[in-house]
Every structure is written in C-alpha cells, then in structure tokens.
Structure 1
C-alpha cells in the first residue's frame, strides 16, 4: 500500500470535453472514512522556451478566459493522443510563433495542479530557431501576438503580473539561473 493512499470506491463521469474530462471519485481514506474527489483528467501539455540568436525570449500574448485577461507566456499546447511531447513542442512553436527548430532539449516535467488535475507539463528549450517562410495556421479559436523580449524585459512583465502563469515563471527563473 502507498503511504496515504486513497482507494477509489466509485467513479462518476461528469463531463468529457475537447481538452479535459471531469469526474468525481468516491474514495476510501487511510482512516477508513470516505470522501469525494473532483478530478480533471488531461492528456498532458508541452511548453517551449525559445531563444533567438540575439538572446531574446519568444513569447506569446493571448487572452485567458478563466482569468478574463491576457497573459504573456512561453508557447505551449496540449499533447494530442499518441503524439510524442517533442512533436507537440515543435508543432506549438511553429503554430504560435512562426519559428521552427531541429534542436529541442528537454528541461523538466511537472504536474501543474496535482490537487485536482493529472496534467503533466513537459518543458523544452531551444536556441536554434529558424523563422518559417510559411508558418502553419494557428488553431481557429486561438489569437496570439508574438513578442521577443530580453530576460530583463520579461522579469519586468513578471513584476507587472503580465507574465503570471507557472510555466512561464519557471522559464524566467530557469533562464536567470543559467545566466542568460
């Protein structure tokens, strides 16, 4: 038995969507009592820290409906079923920024919100960017503006809370630690 394991007694599917599925599990707790857990099932996501030849970070600004505001973020997206994270990383980089690369280095993976979701985010970095002549079309419901910022400019956006998501904050800290 795993330490503090909660055994599932019953699962009720609430919603199956394009991005997430929601279910409620009734669980048996280590003390013998029961509880309900609201769970989001997610296929996983990938983000890329793209660095230009002149050492600028390529970021995208987009509106985030749950927050009712725009955020500046590193390019990212959902892993499609059966797709390798490296493939997702390159696809999202191309669709969102118009850049491509043949060099992606894995940085880390982390769970975004383990209290209620199983989304695993994979982070890659590249400083071997090539501007595409004809980038692929973005998703029809996605509207982004591409920004190229120095690390100091990105840190200013963190202070202004225009960069305010975990993956991009992680990227800024990572680049700072590397001394980029």
Structure 2
C-alpha cells in the first residue's frame, strides 16, 4: 500500500514568526488532486514526558499554572528538547530539575504527536522507576507543586475532567496498560548522572 495519493507537496514557504522557543510558518502546497492550498503551522523543538513510578505504586505528578489556558494543570513531568539533545537525557534532566527525583531505570514507551494539524511537536514518552528523592533544580521563573497519587486516582481525574492535559491523558492510557501487563516495557539502567546535569550542545 502506498501513501502517494494522500501526500501534499510544498511549493513555497514563508516565515511568519520567529521566537525564542517557537517559529510559525505558512506554506503553499500542491494537493493530491493538483490544486493549491496553504498550511500554517508551528515549528516545535520536541519534548519528553516522564511517568515516574514510586516503589509504593504511586506516580509522581505536578501542578503548574499554564498561562495560555489560564489554569493550574495536573501533569506528568515534561520539558522541551535542547538542540541535539538525546530524549532520554532530556527526560532524566527534567525529572531531576522539576521533581528532584533520580531514577535507577528507564524505559521508552513510545512517542506522540501532540497537535498534528498545526504543529511539528513530537513528545517522547519515558517511564522511570527506582526513584531516589533529592533537591529540585527549577529554572528561574518556574513554579510548580510536586505530589504523588495512586494510578486509580489519576485515572478517575482523567475520567472526571480534572486532568485535561493531552500528554498526561495519553500517558494515563500507557500507565494503565503497562500496569496490567498488556504493554511490557524494556527497562534499562539510567545513563550516567553527569549526562543529565548538562544540557545539549
């Protein structure tokens, strides 16, 4: 089976906005039927989200105010990739910075495209276990609460609408299937600690 009958070909591109974090572009494309159309989208550097598993069965979560939606959101720890940064190193770094936890083992669960209609963002999903608590290293201007919850509590919040963050909803599905044994993970030892203490090039 081929996808050629669905693909769009870029014929022009215009930079609409260039920020410190995000860029926006407007492209002209040729549709499969030969007609032209425009596509406006955001270029995102990519990110990592971590599902941290405590030894007592609870998961580590955060409460953080998100300005665009003007709400405090319940989320799993996450952060954007630096240029050239390995997603695993990013996940390890973000977990330490935001929660203070270091993990002995990590497992890549998969990836998700957050908003395929208007963004290039891809989020790599990692699970972490064997957590050891330590001091947080929050970025300047970053404010968040860290807490733990039972998986059934998190799933109830997803059902009831208390959790609406897309990556956390997706991770809750992963968590449910991992804990039930339906989606096994390939656990690996953590990278050397110094790797997570330095940002990418």
Mark yes or no: TM-score above 0.5.
yes
Residue from 68, 71, 85 that aligns with 1:66: 68
1:117 matched residue in structure 2? 119
Contact 1:70-1:162 at 8 Å conserved across structures:
no
Q: Does 1:36 align with 2:35?
A: no
- Structure 1: runs of 5 or more not aligned: none
Tell me the distance in 2 between the aligned counterparts of 1:79 and 1:172.
22
Root mean square deviation, CA, Å: 1.5
Tell me the distance in 2 between the aligned counterparts of 1:92 and 1:77.
6
Contact 1:11-1:25 at 8 Å conserved across structures:
yes
1:167 matched residue in structure 2? 167
**Secondary structure in 2 matching 1:127:** strand
Q: Report the CA distance between 1:141 and its aligned residue.
A: 2.5
| TM superposition score normalised by structure 2 | 0.83
Residue from 95, 100, 103 that aligns with 1:101: 103
Q: Report the CA distance between 1:19 and its aligned residue.
A: 2.1
- Structure 2: runs of 5 or more not aligned: 181-201
Structure 1's 44 and 7: CA in aligned 2 closer, same or farther, altered over 3 A? Answer: same
Contact 1:111-1:120 at 8 Å conserved across structures:
yes
Tell me the distance in 1 between the aligned counterparts of 2:176 and 2:6.
37
Number of aligned positions between the proteins: 178
